[in-house]
């Protein structure tokens, strides 16, 4: 099942397209990280999936084909907007009461026991809680609805390192206990490496790359070798980023598979998630057709270097 | 992909989300830790730590591996990563899942016999002497051995993959 699926999805505010030709399938059971610079269209994509805004073109379905914003979709999705919004004058108990009455399903026992574990005083006004506690309160309210899909918009941005870790621990535990799928947008690349197992990379309103993190890491390599030969690869291999000096060049390339032969005289190094993301966001010419994914037929192998036997 | 609920305690909310180590006798004999600087993928670090614990005798057949939920909570990592590590251990024949209970160690890692080790070491020393004589210093030797080692296993694993998966299940 796909927890989110878009077809030629686009959104325009007046003259500006903030999201264009987005074709994306996010499978269930993952923590998917939505990554991109400011203005990439992340928040717009999330709001479209939740049903808070309507598409200008194309369509989006969630939870295996439910139209975004339909009653079934609303029941199965929990969304925490940026900066963990809670009513500042209401206490945690009040927020639980409110959320319980505004939603069809609500696990009251989970909510109260979780707040107890977190040490959040039930009577204290939300505005008086620390940033980390406020974020945890919003997350607890969202999880108590027992969603199939949890959508978090920049949940870590305002939190200190300890609060970030506690917050993600709560999210990961919900994944392990209930099989919740998670879609999370973030700038904090380093923290995503351990938690995200699916990556959706956006920039300038367009989808750049989408795929399982392990697959993406397996098919990207940094090739280091003589600068003079660097241009030979331009055709057969997809070069994401080139860094070259007089003699030596580093190419971040997308290979057709993990077992692709390395050209003679070149050394291949694995890439980290952070390196991969930055390379895609930095290099200008990577406006790939929307929907680029690993399911595409592999690029033709380099003619000469494939003579390497293994 | 679904989460194997067999690895988590029944009934959602569990008090005391595993901050403290489980009391002796109930949990697993080992506790995972992660080295963020190692560059080794997280699931592989878990696999290697189990293998290491087996070699050193911290783990023996019948022992339970840490529950997925506990690993997830204490290390703040994705449950799929832990499941992938446990699947890899099952694939290697070192561990097996018991529905509703968790994952348990099923085998030991056999060590190579001592006399063979001595012979291998002698051959290696001879080779080291010739490398030294050729003018390689210690760092040069390490670099050469590392690169040869990687090539060798890449090639061996690569050709094994291509030959098919006939040997699967033998383990």
Closest CA to A239 of A248, A247, A227, A231: A231
- What confidence category does residue B4 fall into, taking pLDDT thresholds of 50, 70 and 90? very low
Closest chain A residue to B67 measured between Cα atoms? A176
Q: Are residues A236 and A202 located together in one domain of the fold?
A: no
Q: Please tell me which of the candidates B15, B17, B78 has its beta carbon nearest to residue A31.
A: B78
Q: Which residue among A188, A212, A236 closes a domain?
A: A212
Structural domain boundaries enclosing A55: 2-212
Tell me the C-alpha distance between A34 and A151, whole Å. Answer: 10
Same domain, B40 and B86: yes
* One domain for residues A238 and A164: no
Pick from A219, A222, A215, A220: nearest CA to A269: A222
More confident residue, A269 or B37: A269
How far is it, in rounded angstroms, from Cα A100 to Cα A53? Answer: 24
* Residue B140 belongs to a domain: yes
A155 and A16 in one domain? yes
Across the interface, whether the CB atoms of A172 and B76 are under 8 A apart is answered: yes
Residues A173 and A224 in one domain: no
Within 8 A by CB and 6+ apart from B166, the residues are none
At residue B134, the 3 state secondary structure works out as coil
Taking the CA atoms of residue B16, residue A164, residue B66 and residue B1 in that order, the dihedral angle to the nearest 10 degrees is 110
Q: What are phi and psi of B24, to 5 degrees?
A: -55, 140
Considering the domain architecture, whether residues B43 and B125 belong to the same structural domain is answered as: no
**B119 assigned to some structural domain:** yes
Nearest to A147 by CA among A117, A101, A104: A104
Mean pLDDT of chain B: 78
Q: Which residue of A28, A30, A163, A176 to mutate against B (max B Cβ within 10 Å)? A: A176
B170 — pLDDT class (breaks 50, 70, 90): very low
| Domain co-membership, B27 together with B90 | yes
Q: Which residues of B touch A197 (CB under 8 A)?
A: 78, 80-81
Instruction: Tell how strand A181-185 and strand A149-153 pair up.
Output: parallel
Assess whether B90 and B58 both reside in one domain: yes
- Residue B88: DSSP 8-state: H
- Which token pair is B125? 């020393």
Residue ranges in chain A whose pLDDT is less than 50: 286-310
Pairing between β-strand A267-270 and β-strand A220-226 as defined by DSSP bridges: antiparallel
Contacts for B64 with CB less than 8 Å, ≥ 6 apart: B27, B28, B101, B102, B103, B104, B105
Residues B53, A241: Cα–Cα separation, whole Å: 41
Best to test chain B binding among A168, A172, A184, A224 (most B CBs inside 10 Å): A172
B137 shares a domain with B83: no
Burial of A2 (0-12, 13-18, 19+ CB in 10 A): middle
Q: Coil, strand, or helix at residue A71?
A: helix
Residue appearing with tokens 């080139």 = A242
Say if CB A262 and CB A223 are below 8 A apart.
Answer: yes
* Judgement on whether residues B90 and B22 belong to the same structural domain of the protein: yes
| A2 neighbors A64 (Cβ within 8 angstroms) | yes
Is there a domain that residue B16 lies in? yes
Q: Encode A111-125 in three state secondary structure.
A: HHHHHHHHCCCCCCE
Rg (alpha carbons) of chain B, rounded to whole number: 20
Is the same domain home to A159 and A14?
Answer: yes
Q: What is the ipTM of this complex?
A: 0.78
Q: Same domain for B93 and B150?
A: no
Domain stops at, among A192, A212, A232: A212
Q: Does a structural domain hold residue B95?
A: yes
Domain of B75 in residue numbering reads as: 5-105
Mean pLDDT value of segment B5-34:
54
For residue B17, tell me if it sits in a domain.
yes
| Residues B60 and B41 occupy one common structural domain | yes
Please identify, among B105, B133, B149, the residue that sits at the C-terminal boundary of a domain: B105
Residues A84 and A138 in one domain: yes
Helix, strand, coil fractions of chain B, as percent rounded to 5: 50, 5, 45
Of A194, A212, A230, which residue constitutes the final position of a domain? A212
In this structure, are residues B93 and B171 in contact, taking their beta carbons and an 8 Å threshold?
yes
In a domain, B150, yes or no: yes
Supply the DSSP symbol for A231: G
**CA dist., res. A42 & res. A3, Å (int):** 16
Which residue of B lies nearest to A274 if distances are taken between CA atoms?
B39
Domain total in chain A: 2
B93 or A288: whose pLDDT is higher? B93
CB contact A270 to B (< 8 Å): yes
Rounded CA separation B7/B19 (Å): 18
Residues B143 and B121 in one domain: yes
With respect to residue B64, please indicate whether it lies within any of the assigned structural domains: yes
Q: What is the pLDDT of residue B26?
A: 54
Looking up tokens 């204490």 gives: B74
Set of chain B residues whose Cβ sits within 8 Å of the Cβ of A28: 1
Same domain (yes/no): B97, B128: no
CATH number at residue A7: 3.40.50.300
Chain CA centroid to CA A14, Å: 27
Closest to A171 in 3D by CA, of A187, A162, A161, A183: A183
Residue A145 CA to residue A179 CA, distance in Å, equals 14
**A266 in contact with B, Cβ within 8 Å:** no
DSSP string covering B89-102: HHHTTSEEEETTTE
- Write out the two tokens for B135: 């003018």
**Given its phi and psi angles, is residue A201 left (phi above 0), alpha (psi -120 to 50 degrees) or beta?**
beta
Among residues 27-46 of chain A, which lie with CB inside 8 Å of chain B? Answer: 27-31
What was the pLDDT predicted at A172?
94
Residues A203 and A225 in one domain: no
Residue A61's beta-bridge partner residues?
A5, A67
The answer to the question of residue B171 being in a domain is no
The answer to whether the Cβ–Cβ distance between B3 and A175 falls below 8 Å is: yes
Res. B7 pLDDT band, cuts 50 70 90: very low
Same domain, A206 and A226: no
Q: B134 and B91 in one domain?
A: no
- Position B3 scores a pLDDT of 44
The residues, any chain, with a CB within 8 Å of residue B133's CB and separated by 6 or more, are none
b/e map of A88-110 (b: 16 or more CB within 10 Å)? Answer: eeebbebbbeebbeebeebbeeb
- Among A141, A259, A278, A127, smallest CA distance to A208 is for A278
Contact B1 A113 (CB under 8 A): no
Q: Are residues A8 and A63 in the same domain?
A: yes
Co-location of B45 and B86 in the same domain? yes
Residues of A in contact with B151 (CB under 8 A): none
Q: Into how many domains does chain B fold?
A: 2
What pLDDT was estimated at residue B35? 86
């Amino acid at each position: 099942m796909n927890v989110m699926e878009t077809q030629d999805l686009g959104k325009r505010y007046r003259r500006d397209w903030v999201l264009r030709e987005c074709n994306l399938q996010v499978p269930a059971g993952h923590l998917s990280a939505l990554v991109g610079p400011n203005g990439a269209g992340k928040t717009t994509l999330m709001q479209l999936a939740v049903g808070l805004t309507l598409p200008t073109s194309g369509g989006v379905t969630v939870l295996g084909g439910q139209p975004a914003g339909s009653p079934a979709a609303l029941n199965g999705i929990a969304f925490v907007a940026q900066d963990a919004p809670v009513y500042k004058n209401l206490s945690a108990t009040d927020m639980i009461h409110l959320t319980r009455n505004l939603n069809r399903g609500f696990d009251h026992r989970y909510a109260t026991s979780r707040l107890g574990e977190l040490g959040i005083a039930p009577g204290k006004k939300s505005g008086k809680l620390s940033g980390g506690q406020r974020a945890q309160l919003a997350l607890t309210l969202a999880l108590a609805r027992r969603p199939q899909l949890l959508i978090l918009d920049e949940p870590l941005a305002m939190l200190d390192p300890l609060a970030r870790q506690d917050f993600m621990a709560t999210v990961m535990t919900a994944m392990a206990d209930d099989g919740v799928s998670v879609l999370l947008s973030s700038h904090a690349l380093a923290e995503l490496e351990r938690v995200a197992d699916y990556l959706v990379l956006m920039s300038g309103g367009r989808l750049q790359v989408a795929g399982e993190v392990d697959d993406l890491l397996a098919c990207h390599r940094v090739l280091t070798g003589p600068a003079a030969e660097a241009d030979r690869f331009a055709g057969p291999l997809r070069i994401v980023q080139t860094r070259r000096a007089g003699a030596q060049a580093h190419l971040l390339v997308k290979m057709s598979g993990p077992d692709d032969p390395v050209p003679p005289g070149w050394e291949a190094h694995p890439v980290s998630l952070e390196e991969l993301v930055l390379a895609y966001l930095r290099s200008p010419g990577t406006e790939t057709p929307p929907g680029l994914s690993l399911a595409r037929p592999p690029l033709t192998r380099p003619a000469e270097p494939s003579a390497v036997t293994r | 992909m679904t989460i194997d609920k067999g690895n988590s305690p029944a009934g959602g909310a569990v008090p005391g989300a595993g901050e403290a180590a489980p009391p002796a006798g109930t949990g697993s004999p080992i506790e995972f830790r992660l080295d963020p600087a190692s560059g080794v993928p997280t699931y592989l670090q878990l696999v290697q730590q189990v293998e290491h614990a087996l070699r050193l005798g911290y783990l023996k057949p019948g022992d339970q591996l840490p529950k997925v939920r506990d690993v997830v909570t204490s290390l703040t990592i994705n449950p799929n990563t832990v499941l992938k590590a446990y699947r890899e251990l099952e694939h290697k024949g070192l561990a097996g899942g018991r529905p509703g209970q968790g994952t348990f160690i099923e085998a030991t890692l056999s060590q190579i016999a001592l006399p063979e080790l001595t012979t291998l070491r002698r051959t290696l020393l001879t080779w080291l002497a010739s490398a030294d004589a050729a003018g390689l210093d210690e760092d040069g030797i390490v670099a050469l051995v590392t690169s040869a080692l990687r090539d060798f296993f890449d090639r061996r694993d690569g050709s094994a993959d291509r030959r098919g998966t006939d040997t699967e299940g033998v383990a």
